[in-house]
Structure 1
Amino acid sequence: MAVPALVQKFVAVYKLWQEYRDHFPKKSRFSLGGKIDSLFIEIIELLFVASYLGKQEKLPYLQKAIRKLDVLKFFFQVSWEIKALDNKKYISISERLNEIGRMLGGWIRGIQTKAPAR
Protein backbone atom coordinates (compact mmCIF):
# COMPACT_ATOMS: atom_id res chain seq x y z
CA MET A 1 0.00 0.00 0.00
CA ALA A 2 1.68 3.19 -1.21
CA VAL A 3 1.27 6.28 0.93
CA PRO A 4 0.30 9.36 -1.15
CA ALA A 5 2.94 12.06 -1.65
CA LEU A 6 1.01 14.69 0.33
CA VAL A 7 0.78 12.37 3.33
CA GLN A 8 4.51 11.59 3.06
CA LYS A 9 5.32 15.30 2.86
CA PHE A 10 3.18 16.03 5.93
CA VAL A 11 4.77 13.16 7.88
CA ALA A 12 8.19 14.62 7.01
CA VAL A 13 7.13 17.94 8.56
CA TYR A 14 5.86 16.06 11.62
CA LYS A 15 9.28 14.41 11.99
CA LEU A 16 10.91 17.84 11.81
CA TRP A 17 8.50 19.08 14.48
CA GLN A 18 9.51 16.16 16.70
CA GLU A 19 13.11 17.38 16.55
CA TYR A 20 12.03 20.93 17.38
CA ARG A 21 9.68 19.87 20.17
CA ASP A 22 12.61 18.54 22.18
CA HIS A 23 13.94 22.12 22.35
CA PHE A 24 10.58 23.67 23.25
CA PRO A 25 10.62 25.41 26.65
CA LYS A 26 9.40 23.05 29.36
CA LYS A 27 6.56 25.39 30.36
CA SER A 28 5.08 25.15 26.82
CA ARG A 29 6.15 21.66 25.78
CA PHE A 30 3.13 19.80 27.15
CA SER A 31 0.47 22.48 26.66
CA LEU A 32 1.09 24.24 23.36
CA GLY A 33 3.53 21.59 22.17
CA GLY A 34 1.04 18.84 22.99
CA LYS A 35 -1.74 20.62 21.11
CA ILE A 36 0.51 21.05 18.07
CA ASP A 37 1.42 17.36 18.27
CA SER A 38 -2.27 16.36 18.43
CA LEU A 39 -3.12 18.50 15.42
CA PHE A 40 -0.34 16.89 13.40
CA ILE A 41 -1.67 13.41 14.22
CA GLU A 42 -5.27 14.39 13.40
CA ILE A 43 -4.27 15.89 10.05
CA ILE A 44 -2.16 12.86 9.12
CA GLU A 45 -5.15 10.64 9.87
CA LEU A 46 -7.55 12.80 7.85
CA LEU A 47 -5.22 12.91 4.83
CA PHE A 48 -4.51 9.19 4.97
CA VAL A 49 -8.19 8.25 5.18
CA ALA A 50 -9.13 10.74 2.44
CA SER A 51 -6.53 9.30 0.10
CA TYR A 52 -8.37 5.97 0.01
CA LEU A 53 -11.93 7.27 -0.39
CA GLY A 54 -13.95 8.03 -3.52
CA LYS A 55 -13.80 11.56 -4.92
CA GLN A 56 -16.93 12.94 -3.25
CA GLU A 57 -16.28 11.11 0.01
CA LYS A 58 -12.83 12.77 0.24
CA LEU A 59 -14.12 16.32 0.34
CA PRO A 60 -15.29 16.51 4.00
CA TYR A 61 -12.02 14.95 5.18
CA LEU A 62 -9.92 17.35 3.13
CA GLN A 63 -11.94 20.37 4.23
CA LYS A 64 -11.52 19.37 7.87
CA ALA A 65 -7.79 18.78 7.30
CA ILE A 66 -7.32 22.25 5.81
CA ARG A 67 -9.15 23.86 8.75
CA LYS A 68 -6.95 21.98 11.21
CA LEU A 69 -3.88 22.94 9.17
CA ASP A 70 -4.85 26.61 9.57
CA VAL A 71 -5.14 26.12 13.34
CA LEU A 72 -1.77 24.34 13.36
CA LYS A 73 -0.14 27.26 11.52
CA PHE A 74 -1.71 29.66 14.02
CA PHE A 75 -0.28 27.70 16.97
CA PHE A 76 3.14 27.75 15.35
CA GLN A 77 2.82 31.53 15.04
CA VAL A 78 1.94 31.73 18.74
CA SER A 79 4.96 29.52 19.52
CA TRP A 80 7.18 31.90 17.61
CA GLU A 81 5.63 34.96 19.28
CA ILE A 82 6.28 33.59 22.78
CA LYS A 83 9.80 32.64 21.67
CA ALA A 84 9.24 28.89 22.09
CA LEU A 85 10.49 28.59 18.49
CA ASP A 86 13.32 30.66 17.06
CA ASN A 87 13.03 32.43 13.70
CA LYS A 88 14.88 29.76 11.73
CA LYS A 89 12.72 26.90 13.03
CA TYR A 90 9.51 28.88 12.60
CA ILE A 91 10.36 29.77 9.00
CA SER A 92 11.37 26.19 8.23
CA ILE A 93 8.10 24.73 9.52
CA SER A 94 5.92 27.55 8.13
CA GLU A 95 7.26 27.28 4.60
CA ARG A 96 6.60 23.55 4.54
CA LEU A 97 3.11 23.92 6.01
CA ASN A 98 2.27 26.67 3.51
CA GLU A 99 3.33 24.42 0.63
CA ILE A 100 1.20 21.58 1.99
CA GLY A 101 -1.72 24.01 2.34
CA ARG A 102 -1.40 24.96 -1.33
CA MET A 103 -1.27 21.30 -2.34
CA LEU A 104 -4.29 20.51 -0.19
CA GLY A 105 -6.22 23.46 -1.62
CA GLY A 106 -5.39 22.25 -5.12
CA TRP A 107 -6.63 18.77 -4.27
CA ILE A 108 -9.91 20.22 -2.98
CA ARG A 109 -10.34 22.45 -6.05
CA GLY A 110 -9.63 19.48 -8.31
CA ILE A 111 -12.41 17.48 -6.67
CA GLN A 112 -14.85 20.39 -6.72
CA THR A 113 -14.30 21.18 -10.40
CA LYS A 114 -14.71 17.52 -11.39
CA ALA A 115 -17.89 17.13 -9.34
CA PRO A 116 -21.04 16.49 -11.37
CA ALA A 117 -23.50 19.38 -11.61
CA ARG A 118 -26.62 18.97 -9.50
Structure 2
Amino acid sequence: MAIPIPQPAKLHQTPREKPAEMVILTQTYDLLLWLLPQCEKFPKQQRFVITKRLQDAALDFQESLYEANAQSGQLRLQHLRAADARLNKLRLYLRLSHQWHWLKDAQYQHASRLVAEVGRLLGGWIRQTRG
Protein backbone atom coordinates (compact mmCIF):
# COMPACT_ATOMS: atom_id res chain seq x y z
CA MET A 1 0.00 0.00 0.00
CA ALA A 2 1.49 3.33 -1.04
CA ILE A 3 1.63 6.10 1.52
CA PRO A 4 0.63 9.46 0.05
CA ILE A 5 3.38 12.08 0.27
CA PRO A 6 2.24 15.67 0.89
CA GLN A 7 3.37 18.37 -1.50
CA PRO A 8 6.46 20.31 -0.25
CA ALA A 9 4.54 23.56 0.25
CA LYS A 10 2.00 21.86 2.53
CA LEU A 11 4.45 19.61 4.37
CA HIS A 12 5.88 22.30 6.63
CA GLN A 13 2.83 24.43 7.26
CA THR A 14 1.80 25.10 10.84
CA PRO A 15 -0.40 27.94 12.06
CA ARG A 16 2.35 29.73 14.02
CA GLU A 17 5.00 29.84 11.30
CA LYS A 18 5.85 33.17 9.74
CA PRO A 19 5.92 33.31 5.92
CA ALA A 20 9.72 33.75 5.72
CA GLU A 21 10.26 30.67 7.87
CA MET A 22 7.87 28.68 5.71
CA VAL A 23 9.80 29.64 2.59
CA ILE A 24 13.19 28.57 3.97
CA LEU A 25 11.84 25.17 5.02
CA THR A 26 10.28 24.62 1.61
CA GLN A 27 13.38 25.83 -0.26
CA THR A 28 15.61 23.55 1.80
CA TYR A 29 13.30 20.61 1.20
CA ASP A 30 13.48 21.30 -2.54
CA LEU A 31 17.29 21.46 -2.32
CA LEU A 32 17.31 18.04 -0.63
CA LEU A 33 14.96 16.60 -3.26
CA TRP A 34 17.42 17.66 -5.95
CA LEU A 35 20.72 17.02 -4.13
CA LEU A 36 20.30 13.56 -2.62
CA PRO A 37 19.71 11.77 -5.96
CA GLN A 38 22.71 13.62 -7.43
CA CYS A 39 24.91 12.15 -4.69
CA GLU A 40 24.04 8.65 -5.87
CA LYS A 41 25.93 9.40 -9.09
CA PHE A 42 29.19 10.25 -7.30
CA PRO A 43 32.07 7.73 -7.45
CA LYS A 44 31.45 4.69 -5.26
CA GLN A 45 34.83 4.95 -3.53
CA GLN A 46 33.81 8.42 -2.24
CA ARG A 47 30.30 7.54 -1.08
CA PHE A 48 31.38 6.89 2.49
CA VAL A 49 33.62 9.93 2.75
CA ILE A 50 32.80 13.16 0.91
CA THR A 51 29.39 12.06 -0.34
CA LYS A 52 28.25 11.09 3.15
CA ARG A 53 29.51 14.38 4.57
CA LEU A 54 27.68 16.31 1.86
CA GLN A 55 24.45 14.44 2.53
CA ASP A 56 24.85 14.78 6.30
CA ALA A 57 25.52 18.53 6.03
CA ALA A 58 22.37 19.00 3.94
CA LEU A 59 20.19 16.88 6.23
CA ASP A 60 21.66 18.38 9.40
CA PHE A 61 20.99 21.85 8.00
CA GLN A 62 17.32 20.99 7.47
CA GLU A 63 17.09 19.51 10.98
CA SER A 64 18.61 22.67 12.48
CA LEU A 65 15.92 24.74 10.77
CA TYR A 66 13.16 22.57 12.22
CA GLU A 67 14.76 22.78 15.66
CA ALA A 68 15.00 26.58 15.34
CA ASN A 69 11.39 26.80 14.25
CA ALA A 70 10.31 24.92 17.38
CA GLN A 71 12.10 27.40 19.68
CA SER A 72 12.10 31.13 20.35
CA GLY A 73 14.52 33.76 21.58
CA GLN A 74 18.11 32.73 22.32
CA LEU A 75 17.44 29.02 21.80
CA ARG A 76 16.15 29.76 18.31
CA LEU A 77 19.20 31.92 17.63
CA GLN A 78 21.52 29.09 18.71
CA HIS A 79 19.85 26.68 16.30
CA LEU A 80 19.98 29.25 13.51
CA ARG A 81 23.70 29.76 14.07
CA ALA A 82 24.21 26.00 13.99
CA ALA A 83 22.25 25.93 10.73
CA ASP A 84 24.55 28.63 9.34
CA ALA A 85 27.63 26.56 10.19
CA ARG A 86 26.08 23.51 8.51
CA LEU A 87 25.22 25.55 5.44
CA ASN A 88 28.88 26.59 5.19
CA LYS A 89 29.89 22.92 5.29
CA LEU A 90 27.37 22.19 2.56
CA ARG A 91 28.90 24.95 0.41
CA LEU A 92 32.38 23.47 0.94
CA TYR A 93 31.34 19.94 -0.07
CA LEU A 94 29.48 21.24 -3.12
CA ARG A 95 32.58 23.18 -4.23
CA LEU A 96 34.74 20.08 -3.79
CA SER A 97 32.24 17.97 -5.72
CA HIS A 98 32.38 20.44 -8.57
CA GLN A 99 36.17 20.75 -8.42
CA TRP A 100 36.48 16.96 -8.74
CA HIS A 101 33.97 16.98 -11.65
CA TRP A 102 31.32 15.00 -9.80
CA LEU A 103 28.90 17.86 -10.48
CA LYS A 104 28.75 19.36 -13.95
CA ASP A 105 28.96 23.14 -14.31
CA ALA A 106 25.20 23.50 -14.79
CA GLN A 107 24.48 21.27 -11.77
CA TYR A 108 26.87 23.26 -9.61
CA GLN A 109 25.32 26.54 -10.75
CA HIS A 110 21.86 25.20 -9.93
CA ALA A 111 22.97 24.00 -6.48
CA SER A 112 24.74 27.31 -5.85
CA ARG A 113 21.60 29.28 -6.67
CA LEU A 114 19.53 27.12 -4.32
CA VAL A 115 22.09 27.39 -1.51
CA ALA A 116 22.47 31.16 -2.02
CA GLU A 117 18.71 31.66 -1.76
CA VAL A 118 18.51 29.53 1.38
CA GLY A 119 21.46 31.48 2.79
CA ARG A 120 19.68 34.80 2.19
CA LEU A 121 16.56 33.50 3.89
CA LEU A 122 18.60 32.18 6.82
CA GLY A 123 20.39 35.51 7.21
CA GLY A 124 17.04 37.29 7.31
CA TRP A 125 15.70 34.87 9.90
CA ILE A 126 18.80 35.38 12.06
CA ARG A 127 18.46 39.19 11.83
CA GLN A 128 14.76 38.98 12.67
CA THR A 129 15.45 36.74 15.68
CA ARG A 130 18.21 39.01 17.00
CA GLY A 131 15.75 41.88 16.90
What residue is the counterpart of 1:107 in the other structure? Answer: 125
Task: Determine if the alignment matches structure 1 residue 35 to structure 2 residue 53.
Answer: yes
The two structures, once aligned, show a CA RMSD in angstroms of 1.4
Secondary structure of 1:80's match?
Answer: helix
Q: In the aligned structure 2, how far is the partner of 1:8 from the partner of 1:36?
A: 19
3-state SS of paired residue (1:23):
coil
* One-letter amino acid matched to 2:78: P
Task: Output the amino acid matched with 2:13.
Answer: A
Q: Choose the corresponding residue for 1:90, options 108, 113, 120.
A: 108
Match of 1:10 in 2: 28
What is the CA–CA distance in structure 1 between the aligned matches of 2:66 and 2:100, rounded to whole Å? 32
- Structure 1 stretch displaced more, 19-28 or 46-55: 19-28
Task: Tell me which residue corresponds to 1:55.
Answer: 73
- Structure 1: unaligned runs, 5 residues or longer: none
- Counterpart-to-counterpart distance in 1, 2:39 and 2:75: 34
State how far apart, in whole Å, the 2-side matches of 1:87 and 1:94 are: 10
Q: Distance in 2 between matches of 1:94 and 1:27?
A: 25
List runs of 5+ in structure 2 lacking aligned partners: 1-11, 15-21
> What are the Cα deviations for residues 43-96 of structure 1, in whole angstroms up to 9, with x where unaligned?
111100111211332000001101110111011001100111111111111110
After TM superposition, which residue ranges in structure 1, 4 or more long, deviate above 4 angstroms? none
* Distance (whole Å) between structure 1 residues aligned to residue 24 and residue 73 of structure 2: 16
- More displaced stretch, 58-67 vs 16-25: 16-25
1:9 Cα deviation (Å)?
Answer: 1.1
1:92-117 deviation per Cα after TM superposition (whole angstroms, max 9, x unaligned): 111100110011011111111x2xxx
Q: What is the TM-score with the length of structure 1 in the denominator?
A: 0.88
